[in-house]
Amino acid sequence: MELERAFTYIWKDPDWLKKLAIGGALAITGIGGIALMGWLAEMSRRVAHQEEESLPEWDQIGDFLLNGLKFIGVILVWTSPVIILSIIFSLIPAWMMFAIPEDGQGAAIAMISILVTCFWGFFMIYILAVNLIIPPLWVPVAEGVPFRELVNPQNSWSLFKANAGGFIVALLIGSLAGSLMSMAGVVLCVIGVFVTMVAAQLVLAHLIGQATAQAREAGTTVI
């Protein structure tokens, strides 16, 4: 992994401030963050394909929005089991306390506690697994891979498994970059937080592009 390149390429683009400012402004709007996701995926694609590492122009924002929506769609499908289970587990305690006689509520509370503990253990493991296989989607999303292939977790898992160390390093360094740059953003006030957040995400995008290229060189990936 070329860490130095991931941190320095941003500032080599002569229009870096304008492009980061646009990304930061979109992030503030909330829904504009969906287009930002697609823009970051395009940066990962450029790195993975060893293309020029200038930041993408914002003139294709419609395509970025569409790719961002693909991201959201995949994440919703993958997290739907825990969303449904969360709703069920939020209703069970109220139902048990209403349906069970008062003299049996002590046992019911104990049972609820055990169920909730087991559920939260499953929840944490499941969300961790989802967070690990989301980064391998960045490049395929920007490449226009069909949604039916993106949403198949086996495809993303095959890419992650081919270079697990690279993707984990990307996530860890990206998280560190986010923490450091967010502190710098606080100094620059509110808008600065969003601009530096975009810069941190660009570091992550570059690292994910590198990790994806390395995974594909192994020749065992599907997407």
Q: What is the pLDDT of residues 2-41, one digit of tens each?
A: 999 999 999 999 999 999 999 999 988 888 999 999 999 9
- pLDDT of 118-143, one tens digit each? 888 888 899 999 999 999 999 999 99
| The predicted structure's pLDDT at residue 131 | 93
| The predicted structure's pLDDT at residue 115 | 76
Scan for tokens 């349906």, then name that residue: 99
163 backbone dihedrals φ, ψ, rounded to 5°: -150, 55
| The predicted structure's pLDDT at residue 65 | 96
- Euclidean distance between CA atoms 57 and 70, whole angstroms: 20
- Euclidean distance between CA atoms 177 and 171, whole angstroms: 10
- Euclidean distance between CA atoms 50 and 98, whole angstroms: 62
Collapsing DSSP states into helix, strand and coil, what is residue 31?
coil
Collapsing DSSP states into helix, strand and coil, what is residue 1?
coil
Average pLDDT over residues 34-53: 94
Average pLDDT over residues 59-70: 95
- Euclidean distance between CA atoms 68 and 149, whole angstroms: 16
Concatenated DSSP letters of 48-104: HTT---SPPPSTTHHHHHHHHHHHHHHHHHHHHHHHHHHHHHHHHHHHHHHHS-GGG
Mean pLDDT of the chain: 87
Average pLDDT over residues 162-167: 94
- Euclidean distance between CA atoms 106 and 152, whole angstroms: 43
Q: How many angstroms from the chain centroid is the CA of residue 219?
A: 24
221: confidence class by pLDDT, cuts 50, 70, 90: low
| The predicted structure's pLDDT at residue 32 | 92
- pTM comes to 0.86
Whether residue 109 is predicted with pLDDT greater than 80 in this model: the reply is no
| The predicted structure's pLDDT at residue 91 | 78
| The predicted structure's pLDDT at residue 186 | 56
